[in-house]
Structure 1
Amino acid sequence: MSRRNAGGDDDHPWWKEAVVYQVYPKSFNDSDGDGIGDLAGLARRADYLDDLGVDAVWLCPVYGSPMADNGYDISDYRSIHPAYGDMDDWRQVRDVLHERDIRLVMDLVVNHTSDEHEWFRRSRREEDGYADYYHWWEGEPDEPPNNWESIFGGPAWSYDEARGEWYLHLFDEKQPDLNWRNSAVREDVHGMMQWWLDEGVDGFRMDVINLISKTEGLPDGDPEAGLTGAEHFMNGPRVHDRLREMHDRVLDDRDLLVVGETPGASVADAREYVGPNGDGLSMVFQFEHVTVDHGDDKWTTADVPLAEFKEIIAKWQAGLADEGWNSVYLSNHDQPRMVSRFGDDGEYRRKSAKLLGTLTHTLQGTPFVYQGEEIGMTNAPFESPDELRDVEAKNYVERAVEHGEADCYEDVRETVEATARDNARTPMQWSDDTHAGFTDGEPWIECNPNYAEVNVERARSDPDSVLSYYRELIALRHERDLLVYGEFELLAPDDPDVFAYSRRLDGERGLIVLNVAADATSFDVPAEVDRDGLELVIANADDAPATVPATLDLDPYEARVYLTPSQEGGVGR
C-alpha cells in the first residue's frame, strides 16, 4: 500500500521507499476533551497525514497500562487503555489509514511489562508456570544481586516484599524485565504478536529489543564503563537466537516493517540484526548520532564538532549500504526537539528545521518523522518540576537534589529544558486556539507557549512554511530512486560548518550541501564532484542558483539539493 511500491520484492521492499510518521498518541489529538490524545482523535487527523504524504504510521503504545512510563509499562497487550478508546477505535484508525494507503506499525514492548501485568502478579505469587517469568534473585533485602544500574537512574533491582526476593528492572521499578530464557515467555510473546498481525498491523517497532538477553548468572558490571552492567544486557549472549526464533515463528514470509530499537549497537551489531542473513529485522534504530553530545550520561552535554557528527553519519551510511538498511531520524519521543538541539530555535527556527529535514530525507535509509517535527516544533520551558511528567526527568531532578548536586530545581532547570523527554511530548500544535487546538479540556502536559506562532493551521496557509517544505521533501523522495537507493559519499569531512555529500545511482547524480551554522560561509565544491547537469530541485533559500557554481556562498542554515535529471525525464519536482 505504499505510494511508491504496493508489494515490492526482496531488493525493493515497500519500507525502503517509505516515509514513516511517528505518533505519540497521548499528545497527538484529543477527541473527547479529557486532555489526553486518543485513537478517535488520531483517526480525525488521517487526512492531515495523507496530505503530508507519509506511507506508514508508527503508533506508540496504546495498550492497557498504569502509565508509570506513559504506556511503555504494559499491563495487557491485547487491550487498549481506556483513555485512548477501545479496540473498535483502534480498528477505525487501522481502516482510515489503510483507506489512504498508509500502513500501521505498532510498538512492541517485550523486554519488560508493567508490575501490574497478570504475568508479574502470578510470578510474584510463584504460581505454577509463572515463577520464573521474570528475573528473580534470593537474597537479603539490603543486598541486591549485582551492581547493575537502571537506564532511568539508580539501581536496576528492587526488593519485592510479597515474594521476598529481588527482581530486575532495567527501567522504572514498575517495569520488571521478562525472563526470555523461559520458553513459555517467548511463546506468550509470539502468540501476542500473531494476534496483532491477525488484526491487520503492518509491522512492529521493537522497543529496546537488544536488551532481552542477559548474561547467565547476572554478574557485576564494570562501574567504569558508562552504564554499569550494560555489557551484560545490551546485545546479550542469546539475543540473536531469540530474534531469529521470533522471525522464523512469527514474522517470516510477511510484508512487514520490523525495526528494532538497539541502544549501544555498533555497525557490526546492526549487520547481525538486519537482513535475511541476520535476524530478519528490516532495520534498527541506532543511538550513536543522538548520544554524541552526551557526557557521562544524557544529563551532561557538550558541544560536538560537526566533523565528528558527520563521521558518525557517514560510518553508518557506508556500514549498512550493502549489508542491511538504515533508519534515519533526529527526533522521536525520547529525544529533545531536533531544531532546538541541532539547529536554532530562535531567529533561524524555520530555516534550520528545513535544513535538518533535508538531511533526514536525502540520506540512504528510511526517514522517520516525529509528530510536530514537520512544523518546526521546539523544546518547551519547564518553569517548575511540577510541570514535568516524565519519570526519567523527575528521577534526575530528585537525585540531583538528594545527592547535593543541586540545591533546587532552578539549578538543573537549564539541563532539563535542553534534554528532558517531555520536550517531545508537549501537545501537537494544531492551531492558535486554546491549548493549541489539541484539546477542549486541560491537557495532561502543558502546551509549548509558542503554539500561537508555530502551528499546523498557520503553516498550511504559508507556502514558505516548514510544513510546505516537508511536503516537497517527501514528494521528492518518492519520485527519485536516487535519494532512496543511491550510493552515499561524504564530501569535505573536515569542514567545520558544511555537511556536504553526493548520491549516485545508475548514472544519476546528486549533490546535497547544508550549512549547519548560524553564520554565512562559502563552500568550494571538491574537484571530484561532476557539476555538469546538476540542477537545483529544492532549497530553503529563494536565491539559490539553479546550477552548481564552483564555490557556493551559503547563508546561515542554508540547504540545497542538486540532482541530475531522472532517467524518466525531469529533475523530480
Structure 2
Amino acid sequence: MSEQWWRGAAIYQVYVRSFADGNGDGTGDLAGLRARLPHIAELGVDAIWLNPWYPSPMADSGYDVSDYRDIEPAFGTLAEAEKFIEEAHALGLRVIIDIVPNHCSDAHRWFAEAVAAGPGSPQRDKFWFRPASQRPPNDWQSRFGGPAWSRVPDGEWYLHLYSPEQPDLNWRNAEVRAEFEDVLRFWFDRGVDGFRIDVADGLVKDPLLPDVHGRTEGQLPFSDMDGVHEIYRDWRRIADSYQDPRVFVGEMWLPDPERFARYLRPDELHSAFNFDFLACPWRADRLRAVINSTMDAHALVGAPATWVLSNHDVTRHVTRYGRADTSFEFADRQQGAPTDPVLGLRRARAAALLTMALPGGVYVYQGEELGLPEVEDLPDEVRQDPVFARTQGRDPGRDGCRVPIPWGGTQPPYEFGTSARTWLPQPGNWSGLTVAAQVGDSESVLSLYRGALALRRALPALGDGSLRWLDSAAGVLAFTRDETFTCVVNLSEASIALPAHEEVLLTSGALREGQLPPDTTAWLRTA
C-alpha cells in the first residue's frame, strides 16, 4: 500500500481476551492470536487494531493501565508482543495498539506515589486531587455511573471520569506529557504502526472544574477543550519523525461534526471513528444525511472518513438491526428488546457492503465477519463490565459484545481454547456460527466478508476517494465511486430494479428475478 495506507485501509479490531486462547486458561492471549493470524490475513484486511494489552488489574477490561511499557501477564510477554508484530508484518498486516492517556490504573506507580506523598505534593499534581471536604469538588458524574470523585485515605478527593480505579491524569503537568511521548516512542521503536487513542477528546479539563448542572451535551469542561489539540500536534511530530510514518486514530464521541474535524487537521490525528454512522438507524434518509455530513466535515480538513458498525463498547449490529428501533445510544442499550435475528442478519449483511463501498477506511470488529449477535442473557454473576456494577444493573454493560468468538466444534468453547470455561460464557447455539462451519459455505457471512474485502482491495474505485449520489426511489441509497462502480442499498419494503450495469459483482443476499430485495445491497460494475 501507499505511504498513506490508512486513508483507505480495512482494519480488523481484536479484543484480545476474547479472540483465541493459546494456553488453556479460558482467556484470550497473544499465543492464541498468533496462532489465528492466518484467519485475519485471509479475511483480506490491511491492519489489526488491538484493545489494551498492558498490565492491568482489569477493573475495566484493560483500560485501567498499570504499566504502559509492558504486556499483561495473562496475555503473554513483551517478547511475545514483539514476535506478534513481526509475524503480522510478515503477513502484510500493520499493527495498531490502544493507548489510554486520559487515565491510568490506581495500581499505577504514579498513583501509589501520589497517595503516599500527601496533599500538595508534586506527585499529586499528576492527577486531579482536591482538598478534603464534606462534598465532592463539583457535580461531575462518572460515565460508568455515580459521582466522578472518590477519596483517598487522607480525605482528599481525586477525579475519575470512569471507574474509581481509573484516576484521570492532569495533562497540564509537564511530566505527564513527557511520559506519554516516551511511551509512543517505546512502541513505535518496536514496530507498532499506530495508536488508537482512547477518550481522545478528554485529556484537557477546565482547571476551574465548574459544575455542569446535569448537562451531557454542548461544551463540557472535561471534553473537547481547545488545549487538547496542542498535545496531538506534539504527538504528530513524533509519528512523522519515523521513516515509515506512524498513524493515529482518535476515539471521540462529539456531537459537532466541525469540531470533530478539527482533530483531523494535517498536523494532528490521521483519522477518527465515525460514531454518528454507527449509531444511525437503518433508514435511507438518515444514513444518507450522516454520510453527507461526515464527508463534508472531513473535506474541510482533507481527511478520510472511517466507517464502523460495531466495536467492544456497543451492542452488536446484527441484534440492533433486528429491532423496531435500529439506532444505538449508550443511555439505552435496549437490553432485552424484541429482535428479529433473521431480519437483523439480513440488514447486517447489507450494511457491511454499504460500509465497505463508502470512501475512506473501514473497521471490522472481531466476530462481525461471523454474524455474531449480542449475547443478552449472560447471568448477572458472570458480568465483569464496571458499568453493570456501578449502575446496580440498570445498564447491562458491554459484556454481551465481548463474548469469546467461536472457531469450530459443536459446543462451547468452540475451539476458542482447551478450557471448557471461558472468561465469559458462550451460548450453546453458536455451532453454526463458527469459522469452521462458515469457511466452506459460499452463502455464509464469512464468505461475504472475504469476497467484499477482496474486491475492495482489487478495485481501484474503492477505498479512499469520493462518491456521487444517483437518483433513486424513496428508501434506496445509490451512489457511484467512479464510472466503473455503483453501490445500491435497498432499505425500502419492496424489491427494486437494478440500475444499468455490465456485471453484478456481489450482493448481500440473493436477487429475486433479477431485482434487489428489501434490506439488500448490490455492488455493480458499470463499465
Aligned counterpart, 2:526: 564
Question: Relative to 1, partners in 2 of residues 1:124 and 1:189: Cα closer, same or farther, differing over 3 Å?
Answer: same
Aligned counterpart, 1:437: 415
8 Å Cα contact 2:96-2:193 kept in structure 1: yes
Asked if 1:464 is matched to 2:443, the reply is: yes
Question: Relative to 1, partners in 2 of residues 1:476 and 1:166: Cα closer, same or farther, differing over 3 Å?
Answer: same
Q: What are the within-5 Å matches in structure 2 for residues 131-280 of structure 1?
A: 131-140=124-133, 142-162=134-154, 164-223=155-214, 225-226=215-216, 231-252=220-241, 254-264=244-254, 266-276=256-266, 278-279=267-268
- Kindly indicate whether structure 1 or structure 2 has the higher relative contact order, using CA contacts under 8 Å at least 6 residues apart: 2
Question: Relative to 1, partners in 2 of residues 1:20 and 1:218: Cα closer, same or farther, differing over 3 Å?
Answer: same
Question: Relative to 1, partners in 2 of residues 1:252 and 1:236: Cα closer, same or farther, differing over 3 Å?
Answer: farther
8 Å Cα contact 1:314-1:489 kept in structure 2: no
Aligned counterpart, 1:515: 490
Letter in 2 for 1:240: H
Q: Deviations over 1:515-567 (max 9, x none)?
A: 346xx414477xxxxx5555321112333677xxxxxx4323221111334xx
The gaps in structure 1 that reach 5 residues or longer are 294-303, 401-414, 526-530, 547-552, 566-573
Aligned counterpart, 1:554: 516
Q: What are the within-5 Å matches in structure 2 for residues 391-430 of structure 1?
A: 391-398=386-393, 400=394, 416=396, 420-430=397-407
**TM-score, normalised to structure 1's length?**
0.83
* Deviation, structure 1 residue 493: 8.7
Aligned counterpart, 2:328: none
8 Å Cα contact 1:339-1:356 kept in structure 2: no
Asked if 1:286 is matched to 2:270, the reply is: no
Letter in 2 for 1:445: L
Q: What are the within-5 Å matches in structure 2 for residues 521-536 of structure 1?
A: 521-523=494-496, 531-536=499-504
Aligned counterpart, 1:72: 63
- For residues 383 and 51 of structure 1, the distance between their equivalents in structure 2, rounded to whole angstroms, comes to 31
**TM-score, normalised to structure 2's length?**
0.90
* Deviation, structure 1 residue 185: 0.4
8 Å Cα contact 2:278-2:308 kept in structure 1: no
More divergent stretch after superposition (170-179 vs 88-97)? 88-97
8 Å Cα contact 1:205-1:260 kept in structure 2: yes
- For residues 185 and 139 of structure 1, the distance between their equivalents in structure 2, rounded to whole angstroms, comes to 24
Q: Deviations over 1:209-255 (max 9, x none)?
A: 110011121111142x326x961111113111111122224544552
Question: Relative to 1, partners in 2 of residues 1:544 and 1:509: Cα closer, same or farther, differing over 3 Å?
Answer: farther
The gaps in structure 2 that reach 5 residues or longer are 323-338
SS in 2 for 1:80: coil
- For residues 117 and 249 of structure 1, the distance between their equivalents in structure 2, rounded to whole angstroms, comes to 25
Question: Relative to 1, partners in 2 of residues 1:171 and 1:334: Cα closer, same or farther, differing over 3 Å?
Answer: same
- For residues 461 and 47 of structure 2, the distance between their equivalents in structure 1, rounded to whole angstroms, comes to 21
SS in 1 for 2:113: helix
Asked if 1:32 is matched to 2:5, the reply is: no
Aligned counterpart, 1:317: 295
- For residues 467 and 382 of structure 1, the distance between their equivalents in structure 2, rounded to whole angstroms, comes to 25
More divergent stretch after superposition (249-258 vs 44-53)? 249-258
Aligned counterpart, 1:107: 98
* Deviation, structure 1 residue 292: 4.9
Q: Deviations over 1:411-436 (max 9, x none)?
A: xxxx74xxx41121001111134312
Aligned counterpart, 1:542: 510
Q: Which of 334, 338, 354 matches 2:317?
A: 338
- For residues 283 and 132 of structure 2, the distance between their equivalents in structure 1, rounded to whole angstroms, comes to 48
Question: Relative to 1, partners in 2 of residues 1:292 and 1:555: Cα closer, same or farther, differing over 3 Å?
Answer: closer
Letter in 1 for 2:430: Y
8 Å Cα contact 1:317-1:488 kept in structure 2: no
- Spell out structure 1 runs of 4+ moving beyond 6 A: none
SS in 1 for 2:68: strand
SS in 1 for 2:125: coil
Question: Relative to 1, partners in 2 of residues 1:466 and 1:487: Cα closer, same or farther, differing over 3 Å?
Answer: same
8 Å Cα contact 1:381-1:448 kept in structure 2: no
Asked if 1:503 is matched to 2:480, the reply is: yes
* Deviation, structure 1 residue 397: 3.5
* Deviation, structure 1 residue 160: 1.5
- For residues 378 and 454 of structure 2, the distance between their equivalents in structure 1, rounded to whole angstroms, comes to 40
